[in-house]
Amino acid sequence: MPLINLPDFSNELLSLFETLKTDRVDTPVIQPAEPFLNMAGEDLRRRIFMTESETGESLCLRPEFTIPVCLQHIETATGTPKRYSYLGEVFRQRREGGKEFYQAGIEDLGTKDVAGADARAVADAIATLKALLPGQPLAVTMGDQSVFEAVVEALGLPSGWQRRLVHAFGEASKLDAMIARLARPESVTDLGAEVEAMLAAGDEATLIGHIDAIMQATGYSSNASRSPASIARRLREKRALASTALDPAKLEVLKEFLSLSVSLKYAPDVFATFARSAGLKLDGAVDRFDARVAALTGIGVDLSTVTWRAAFGRPLDYYTGLVFEITVREDHRVLAGGGRFDRMMTLLGAAEEIPAVGFALWLDRIEAVRGEIV
């Protein structure tokens, strides 16, 4: 039995989902933990409730719905495109207190019109909140993981630094620390003189033999991911990353990009102007950005209520493109949030790539706002 009561507007919400042509889906409360540990991101991993099966399999209480809905879609071999809706309890530690609360949302799987599906996800989230919170002015904050990735790639950073920066996107303090680090090279002091000499000389074979001998002497077992060769490769990358400093001019370009924050009404011109003035080849990212803005306009979203922030991300590792959150204007409580997660389906075991976008609603926060409406 649930430990908390369903909000009184739950039936209204489910009816709204029906009008949006979605199929209601439910998923087990007990979930395999591995997909969340591998894909959900450090922020969520810290807050999930773990357990294990009689056979020792790592399990967890369902901390969110996106991964379970995608797993269920793959297991049932349901064709696409498919639009799922859900409403149920999720379990995780929350900063504002509490460990169990209700979420609802929509996952759109397999729609090949990326810009159109992105726009529909945002529009459906706005429409749902407007129906549940009549008369309340809403504000949308929007970012794009793929745009940030394109800028970082165009700056010509080593692939290792690109991965680190992309992984930190959405966590402001971590990203700021990495950018500050890119302003100055550092030396690696924990490799030991002998290993440092082999790396400096580029003596790969000797280094691998040295690592293998240590592993044999200490009884450390090797596998595909921790073989002597892979450890040598990681040490080489660690040394290269530590000694990398971004050209000051390029660092200023990156900072300028992350400072962009404008109404979505003006964002296409602002982004295109930035790309031209910085001399970065971002034609593909600009075209995709423009297509989404056009789709949002075409579906009737008021662009003046949407703010595009170049530095805005969400702390879940599976996002690949659009990310957004919705609040009541001048209120910090996030009522809805979502984005695009195109790589997730194949990582979870789908036989082919399936484009995917969706959003979730925090029902207890919506209920609190409803209670404050006079």
- Which residue positions form the known binding site for L-histidine? 64-66, 92, 103, 107, 314, 318-319
Q: Helix, strand, coil proportions of the chain in percent (round to 5)?
A: 45, 15, 35
User: Measured between alpha carbons, how far is residue 320 from residues 22, 104, 118, 217, 291 in Å?
Assistant: 23, 22, 12, 43, 16
Rounded (5°) CA angle 6-315-334: 40
Beta carbons of 28 and 62 less than 8 angstroms apart: yes
- Residue positions forming the annotated binding site: 64-66, 92, 103, 107, 314, 318-319
147 vs 268: CA distance, rounded Å: 12
Residue 53 C-alpha from the chain's centroid: 29
- Please provide the distance, in angstroms rounded to a whole number, between the alpha carbons at the two ends of the chain: 33
**Which residues have C-beta within 8 Å of that of residue 168, sequence separation ≥ 6?**
174, 175, 178
Query: Tokens 């630094």 identify what position?
Result: 161
